[in-house]
Amino acid sequence: QVQLVQSGAEVKKPGSSVKVSCKASGGSITNFAMSWVRQAPGQGLEWMGRIIPMLGLTYYAQKFQGRVTITADKSTSTAYMELSSLRLEDTAVYFCARGLRVGPTLDWGQGTLVTVSS
């Protein structure tokens, strides 16, 4: 059973960037799709985008296009999500999730709290 282990909580200033990592322990990411989903305090789930490492393809939700970059290192089974030009409303828990190339997000990381505060 794969375990997705995310990097720790971050506190950032408005206008800065944050990069969150997600390492697959006990499994690979190469033949899967790695998605990033965020959840603002008391709010619902918001899909941000995904990467298919084997194909090098990325897809981003329109809302985050131009501000988010999702990458993957197949050699270390680690996915990354970088969000730039941070705003106060980007404060949220950011989850990574693994799924089939066409399929739901099956395995989830524990979440990383990103707080944007001046």
Partner 1 sequence: EIVLTQSPGALSLSPGERATLSCRASQALGGTYLAWFQQKPGQAPRLLIYDTSSRATGIPDRFSGSGSGTDFTLTISRLEPEDFAVYYCQQYGSFFYTFGQGTKLEIK
Residues lying near partner 1 in the complex (CB under 8 A): 35, 37, 44-47, 50, 59-62, 95, 97, 99, 102-106, 108-111
Phi, psi of 62 (to 5 degrees): -55, -35
Which of 17, 14, 38, 2 shows the shortest CA–CA distance to 112?
38
What does the DSSP 8-state code read for residue 86?
Answer: -
Nearer to partner 1, 26 or 102 (CB): 102
**Min. distance of Cβ 52 from partner 1 in angstroms?**
10
**Min. distance of Cβ 116 from partner 1 in angstroms?**
21
**Min. distance of Cβ 34 from partner 1 in angstroms?**
12
Nearer to partner 1, 75 or 104 (CB): 104
Nearer to partner 1, 30 or 43 (CB): 43
Which of 74, 79, 104, 76 shows the shortest CA–CA distance to 94?
79
Nearer to partner 1, 18 or 33 (CB): 33
Cα separation values, 62 from 22, 37, 48, 57, 116, Å = 23, 14, 8, 16, 21
Helix (H, G, I), strand (E, B) or coil at 80: strand
**Min. distance of Cβ 45 from partner 1 in angstroms?**
4
